[in-house]
Amino acid sequence: MNTSGKLLILLSLTFVLFAGCIGGEQQDYITEGQTTPLEQAPAEPAEPEPVAPVEEIMCEPSYEYSELPSEAVIGDVLTFSVTSTCAEGKIVGLNIDEKQESGGMISKNDPVTYNFIIALETEGTKSITLWSDNESVYSTTVEVDQIGSTDTSGNKNDPASVKEWIATSFEAEGPVKVKSIGAYMRRLYSQTMQHSMVVAQIRADNNGNPSDNITAESTIPITDTTMSENWIYFNFPEALTLAPGKYWVVFLVTQETQDQIVSDVVNVHYTFGGDTSVPGDGTNKQMKLEWDNSQRKFVKTDWQNVPYERTYSVVVSSETH
């Protein structure tokens, strides 16, 4: 083989090798053992088309989040879901009333969903802000109210006295701070016995009834109530924090001497749908105590459902009134 033939073979092999390394499907290199005659040189190789550089994709952080309710009550627990994309390395956190409650670093650019759990222990306007690297990406407010009903419509009421106790239940999904109980009530008699006291208690639930154990108690002289209906608050000596669960507010009256059949009375307001045939659902209870002549006092009986469904005008508050 002459020098010119060797040069053609060399050029041909060089181009094929070069072409096999530029993108596209990989193919076997052409060698002397294949059917392409080595003496037939390929045409002059064309200039390879320029390959556009791979354009770097800019990944901008973005966040999607669930909407929080505008209103809630103490004891509610809210779940705030946030999905981040392209946010690897970002520090995200949740502030409530400008205080950081939780947060952390996002580990990857792929979509990641985080759930922030917000326990509302106290009432008031809560400012909630989601931030990323100290920059606010979402902000809202939630109005947190006391537990219970402030509806004072109508003229219905139930008596609470030495011989008649009433109880209404409430539930807290999360921990709740309690400083007072409020009730829309009035005194029945203008003249009262000396040292009669109105009592408001918080008791835990015991199989659908108020427990015998008293969690907290507040008393006021019956003379602090009025002959017309008003909001009367029972402040606890110390704030208490209730764990999640079901509780009861119990109202009764105590007297200095328990050996009198006559009792001072307060009436606690309630509202209802107007249908007295709808039986109580177990959220409100009554206990009618019985007179024990041998002990000369009223003794406890069992809690019973109220005859028909009603809603007492009673609130549980995280504030002192």
| Predicted confidence (pLDDT) per residue in 19-64, tens digit | 333 233 333 322 222 333 323 334 455 566 665 554 445 789 999 9
Characterise 12 by phi-psi region: left (phi > 0), alpha (psi -120 to 50), beta (else).
alpha
Using alpha carbons, list the distances in angstroms from residue 190 to 186, 222, 224, 232: 10, 10, 12, 17
Higher pLDDT: 175 or 192? It is: 175
Domains detected in the chain = 62-145 (2.60.40.1930), 147-317 (2.60.120)
Of the candidates 312, 145, 143, 147, the residue with the CA atom closest to the CA atom of residue 242:
147
- The predicted structure's pLDDT at residue 30: 29
Worst-scoring range by mean pLDDT, 24-28, 163-167, 197-201? Answer: 24-28
Question: pTM score, two decimals?
Answer: 0.79
Report the alpha-carbon distance of residue 53 to residue 50 in Å, rounded: 9
- Highest mean pLDDT range out of 30-34, 168-172, 278-282? 168-172
